[in-house]
Chains A and B, each alone.
Chain A
């Protein structure tokens, strides 16, 4: 009986080890083969089943949009640094309020540009994929704020509820 138990345990262990090794190896190979680390647009190709022609059109739009996006982000980062300096030195002064408004305004501009870019990209795809892409991008970019705000007005958050 003892010998049988040892044999069965050894067989189970060997099976589990082979299963785990195969799982790990296949996963690594699949990740390495599917993702080209240099390509930002790989997700569009995979998720929306786009061909080279569509990806080529989208790449042009993407490369045109990136400098604008970077400019907005640099501007926001610069204003944020200024704001933390002002807040540390003087607290909530009119200067700090002005900076907060400016940052919010740049963010709005940035988001508007981003939505315009998403629409342009959706038009570069076949209609059905374009609609799905647009919905997904709106959900991922604007939905993040929505869910945060929803959580603040939910009944569980009585301290922050707006009546």
Chain B
């Protein structure tokens, strides 16, 4: 049975003759491949952007980035809050003891 299949495949291959390749075919293919590669590298940034998006979507980096935003925001907010609280307290004290003060 397997030998018959093999014989059939050989018969089919022979029945579809492959035309000869035109002269310089391989060179032309290489040239086109080279042109395509340099076009991509001239545009450049889409590949870079894709890589960045792919990198940023990795859970480890996404969580780390959001955690950094959370921590930095909180620290800056606490710093601002302390300064604001001090300013409010100073205004309050000055208003109570010095009506002519310029807080």
Contacts and interface: CB of A to CB of B under 8 A. Distances in A.
Q: Contact size class for A?
A: 35 or more
Interface string A24-46: 11111111001100001111101
A27 B65 contact: no
Contacts of B75: 26
Interface string B63-103: 00110011111111110111011101110111011111111
Nearest to A107: B100
A30 B73 CA distance: 13
Contact of B69 (A8, A15, A44, A69): A15
Contacts of B89: 34-35, 42-43, 46-47
A109 B54 CA distance: 73
Closest 10 pairs (CB-CB, A-B) = A30-B81, A26-B77, A22-B73, A144-B102, A34-B85, A43-B89, A4-B53, A23-B77, A19-B73, A27-B81
Interface of B: 46, 49-50, 52-54, 56-57, 62, 65-66, 69-78, 80-82, 84-86, 88-90, 92-94, 96-103
Interface of A: 1, 3-5, 7-8, 11, 14-16, 18-31, 34-35, 40-44, 46-47, 62, 65-66, 69, 73, 107, 110-111, 114, 117-118, 137, 140-141, 143-145
29 contacts: A1-B50, A4-B46, A5-B49, A5-B53, A7-B53, A8-B49, A15-B66, A18-B70, A19-B70, A19-B72, A21-B73, A22-B72, A22-B73, A26-B74, A26-B77, A27-B80, A28-B81, A29-B81, A30-B77, A30-B81, A30-B82, A34-B85, A40-B93, A43-B92, A46-B85, A66-B97, A69-B97, A141-B101, A145-B100
